[in-house]
Chains A and B, each alone.
Chain A
């Protein structure tokens, strides 16, 4: 263990890796602070660059950039009444109301301070839970994996905000995309239409650049007429009074971090849903719920800790099972495979130094957030003055090159454009994107584990319940699936 940790520290504290972390941190802070550019988009844009790096700096850049982006999303919430990333949307009105009351310093400070604490909490859970869970998962067969995937897909659909039926459609479309190509249990060319590029299946990274970056750019262009009006805020020492707040609201911070980590770990739901849930929980259990919405810091503490802890939580199922906990880790899993760090329970035996290096980077990124976050808050006015009419086109050209670079093929750009339009139309019509992405990432795993289980069981479906863990997972899945149906039936009668 000691030797592994020493190796891991050596991997992280290498000048090249530290430079990558610093650059990614600044990139993440900028992307998070500019409304319309999201943490998931930052990840999708980073992938083509990380493609050419060794494994540890590649993963480190994504970990750092996303942690910074989720915090930085709070900055325009306070100053513009616009969330910088969807993860800040839950408490944007609250933060802006604080700024209007002349307490902008408090709003920005608690966003930063509790983002750091929440991020560290989530990281601690990740470090403790992932290796333990991996021990259990070593005994899993295709039956258990089948149920895990179904459970993940089900929770993605039901945790999505809005109409669950539209979530199911989104999920099925994702599964459909995953079924193209030769990579199925029978090795049969499916949906290839005689096009050579389709034989290998649809490359996910250009699709994700399309769905997370291009569709977001389209949305920003559609809203280009909306002016950005900055609220006046006097900003001195943003950390002033944070210790008092921590002592005054310890439960809010802990509850937010616990809920955030759990929501993050559930497949398909990430930082944005964690923040919405935690804000609602905070209001529900508050001693002064009437103050919520008028510029009260309690909800910001709970939801601000929640969204950053969700980031780390999402890595638990991603590393142990290869099942992404949120949209960011859905992209990360692809990177892990490319870098030879195949996710699964054996990752802690085969690649222990690299994985512990990732854990160290998580801690480092959250500590680095303190000085860099303060700097970002001070530079907020300049960052938010970046002209959108220049920024959006340059990012789009970057997307083109990034999509091209994955396979050095123009087909990547075609995929990016097609899925950019699909993603935009879906979101505009209330179809959530996250289930589709999860379907694309997990489709092959679902089919493979189903078919091989069926072959092992000789077609008897009851075999899916015969092993104890598989049976329990199966019953849990059925319970999760039937809750919304039961709720509907009881609501009607």
Chain B
């Protein structure tokens, strides 16, 4: 901003200087301790945990990309089935929980709280 000493760039600039300084100090401390550059977390050895983390993140990305087109209800059921199965529950548990869970959220948020959850391809049957 012309004519002002403390414009909008001042505050982020200060943050940037601070981050650079702390970053340099942390790198220095790390080098002095000779710690490894990257260390893997423990869960990497468990197939179930690996699959779970992968499914959680992938599922959220899927929801962001597909929710408007598919609608909340289909996407929600798909996600719950994926996640509950990957974490190791049987189909007998998974299917009812996925259906009831999605319906409960539908009634709580769409009906009671009037959140406009997207219907997507189910638009014609919206209730």
Q: Do the two shown chains form a genuine complex with each other?
A: yes
Interface residues in A432-486 by Cβ distance below 8 A to B read 447, 450-451, 454-455, 459
Q: What's the Cα separation between A454 and B19 when bound, in Å? A: 24
The reply to whether the CB of B70 lies closer than 8 angstroms to some CB of chain A is no
> Are A224 and B84 in contact, CB atoms less than 8 angstroms apart?
no
Measured CB to CB, the closest approach of chain A to B35, in angstroms, equals 11
Q: Of residues A52, A392, A404, A413, which shows the largest number of chain B Cβ atoms within 10 Å of its Cβ?
A: A404
> Are B26 and A221 in contact, CB atoms less than 8 angstroms apart?
no
Query: Given A52-B113, A184-B8, A218-B56, A392 and B87 touching (CB < 8 A)?
Result: yes
> Are A389 and B88 in contact, CB atoms less than 8 angstroms apart?
yes
Checking A173, A221, A401, A455 against B49 with a beta-carbon cut-off of 8 angstroms, the contacting residue is: A221
Closest to A424 in B: B53
Closest to B87 in A: A389
Checking A172, A405, A447, A451 against B19 with a beta-carbon cut-off of 8 angstroms, the contacting residue is: A172
> Are B105 and A410 in contact, CB atoms less than 8 angstroms apart?
no
The reply to whether the CB of A1 lies closer than 8 angstroms to some CB of chain B is no
Q: What's the Cα separation between A450 and B5 when bound, in Å? A: 12
> Are A172 and B89 in contact, CB atoms less than 8 angstroms apart?
no
The reply to whether the CB of B22 lies closer than 8 angstroms to some CB of chain A is yes
Residues in A with CB closer than 8 Å to B105 are: 397-398, 401
> Are A179 and B52 in contact, CB atoms less than 8 angstroms apart?
no
Interface residues in A105-155 by Cβ distance below 8 A to B read none
The reply to whether the CB of A428 lies closer than 8 angstroms to some CB of chain B is yes
Query: Given A191-B12, A397-B76, A169 and B23 touching (CB < 8 A)?
Result: yes
Closest to B93 in A: A390
Interface residues in A213-261 by Cβ distance below 8 A to B read 214, 217-218, 221-225
Q: Total interface residues on A, using CB and 8 Å?
A: 56
Q: What's the Cα separation between A428 and B44 when bound, in Å? A: 14
> Is chain A's interface secondary structure helix, strand, loop, or mixed overall?
helix
Residues in A with CB closer than 8 Å to B57 are: 417, 421
Besides A48-B109, A394-B101, A447-B11, 12 new A-B residue pairs in contact (Cβ under 8 A), listed by A number: A49-B108, A173-B19, A186-B7, A214-B60, A221-B49, A224-B49, A224-B87, A389-B84, A397-B101, A405-B115, A413-B67, A417-B61
Interface residues in chain A, defined as those with a beta carbon under 8 Å from any beta carbon in chain B: 48-49, 51-52, 165-166, 168-169, 172-173, 175-176, 179, 184-186, 188, 190-191, 214, 217-218, 221-225, 387-390, 392-394, 396-398, 400-401, 404-405, 408, 410, 413-414, 416-417, 420-421, 428, 447, 450-451, 454-455, 459
Could you list some 24 contacts between A and B, CB below 8 A? A49-B108, A49-B113, A52-B113, A165-B26, A169-B26, A175-B15, A184-B8, A188-B1, A221-B56, A224-B52, A224-B88, A225-B48, A225-B49, A390-B97, A392-B83, A396-B79, A401-B115, A404-B115, A410-B64, A413-B63, A413-B64, A428-B41, A454-B5, A459-B5
Interface residues in chain B, defined as those with a beta carbon under 8 Å from any beta carbon in chain A: 1, 4-8, 10-12, 15, 18-19, 22-23, 25-26, 29, 41-43, 46, 48-49, 52-53, 56-57, 59-61, 63-64, 67-68, 72, 76, 79-80, 83-84, 87-89, 93, 97, 101-102, 105, 108-109, 112-117
